Amino acid sequence: MFETLKALNPDPILGLMAAYRQDQNPKRVDLGVGVYKDEAGHTPILDCVKRADTLHRAAETTKTYVGPPGDPDFDAGIEKLVFGADHPTLKAGLIRTVQAPGGCGALRIAAELINRAKPGAAIWVSDPTWANHVPLLGDAGLEIKLYPYYDAASQGLKADAMLGALAQIPAGDLVLLHGCCHNPCGVDLKPAEWDAVAKLAVDRGFTPFVDLAYLGLGTGLDEDAYGVRKLAATVPELIVASSCSKNFGLYRERVGALSLVSPNAAQTDIVFGQIQNVARGIYSMPPNYGGALVGRILSDATLTADWKRELNAMRDRINGLRGQLATKFRERLGTHRFDFIPQQLGMFSFLGLTKEQVAQLKNEYSIYMVDSSRINVAGVNQQNIDYFCDAVCQVL
């Protein structure tokens, strides 16, 4: 039967990773794949994760299934982390969380739940958005529409165009927002813009859906959660897909969460039952290990403090590199062309290069980035930063 299927074009990021691995140039630089890297170019296991692992293995007595909502400590910990322990909506018992296989799993079960409630519902995503949003949401049956977001000319937010477009969105549609550290452009909403979005959601009657994959890697845990907390306090219904891949460095353990805010206790329970049923029909139960580690870290004050220190160090490194890149480009070019880099947040920024320039960087300098000229800032280090800046200036 599979002879009916057609060959697919290779995934561009996976292709880039394979090409990088085969490149023998000792100066090769990988700015493509979206994982945090330390100064040595490694994606480390956090110390708090290693300690949680030791405690977890000593305490584990069974490998029987976890229930569909996953580890209860994990779910409670994520709710406090994302919404804030004192959030009135959390205290009112109007939030339910299930553990999911990564942020992607959370996005997908949310999409399936939406499609159950409103088949073919329209979901508006930023232009541009993370490429995987389209299959994760669209393949579940949702109709994807675009709202204006990134302004390539100013390397900032098209705030007026975005808010103008949201002001036209019909009641009952959904709007996907990047909670912080926008992937791919690094341009985030400021608190006043989140306030405006929250007001529009209420006035227009659309449902916000926040994808929070980089919490703590932008400005700080509380600052990065401003938008999601504001929405949770303002709108009657909110969907939040969060991920522990980047901020806990648990990528391959597939740890994420789906949290739903409902307007009243009865709907909260219905939605909680439905989402578990959706999960049951796709993967039945989430994997336990990564969620158990995060649950342990978040329910132990010492481990939480250690995790925050390690998270702060990752964030400070990224933000330090952003500043250094702007300075080095300014010195080389004598212009402010790259001053936008430290204005942006998280791992990604568009350099604003053409596809030809990106190809030239790859072919002549072994510097790898996505065609759109999105770079993973964390791939830069003190060994390669001058080489990278020189090469970019050469292709310009």
Ligand X SMILES: Cc1ncc(COP(=O)(O)O)c(C=O)c1O
* Active-site amino acid positions: 130, 211, 246
- Is residue 245 a contact point for ligand X (CB under 6 A)? yes
CB of 137 to ligand X, least distance (A): 11
User: What distance in Å separates the CA atoms of residue 133 and residue 394, rounded to the nearest whole number?
Assistant: 34
- Using CB under 6 A, which of the segments 101-109, 314-322, 358-366, 388-396 binds ligand X? 101-109
Comparing C-alpha atoms, which of 186, 174, 292 is closest to residue 235?
A: 174
Q: Which is nearer to ligand X, 124 or 130 (CB)?
A: 130
- Is residue 103 a contact point for ligand X (CB under 6 A)? yes
Q: Which listed residue (46, 49, 78, 104) binds ligand X by CB under 6 A? A: 104
- Using CB under 6 A, which of the segments 98-106, 199-207, 264-272, 274-282 binds ligand X? 98-106
Q: Which is nearer to ligand X, 89 or 245 (CB)?
A: 245
Comparing C-alpha atoms, which of 297, 307, 318, 309 is closest to residue 376?
A: 318
Q: In the Cβ-directed half-sphere of 367, how many Cα atoms lie within 13 Å?
A: 25
- Is residue 34 a contact point for ligand X (CB under 6 A)? yes
User: What distance in Å separates the CA atoms of residue 368 and residue 360, rounded to the nearest whole number?
Assistant: 10
Q: Which listed residue (97, 99, 207, 243) binds ligand X by CB under 6 A? A: 243
Residues in 178-237 that interact with ligand X by CB under 6 A: 183, 211, 213
- Is residue 247 a contact point for ligand X (CB under 6 A)? no
- Is residue 259 a contact point for ligand X (CB under 6 A)? no
CB of 340 to ligand X, least distance (A): 20
3-state secondary structure 176-208: EEECCCCCCCCCCCCHHHHHHHHHHHHHHCCEE
CB atoms within 10 A of CB 78: 29
On whether the CB atoms of residues 231 and 72 are closer than 8 A, the answer is: no
User: What distance in Å separates the CA atoms of residue 392 and residue 357, rounded to the nearest whole number?
Assistant: 8
Q: Which is nearer to ligand X, 291 or 389 (CB)?
A: 291
CB of 106 to ligand X, least distance (A): 8
CB of 255 to ligand X, least distance (A): 7
Q: Which amino acid does the sequence have at 301?
A: A
- Return all residues near 151 (Cβ < 8 A) that are at least 6 apart: 157, 158
How many residues make contact with ligand X (CB under 6 A)? 12
Give the residues lining the site for ligand X (CB under 6 A).
34, 102-104, 130, 183, 211, 213, 243, 245, 251, 256
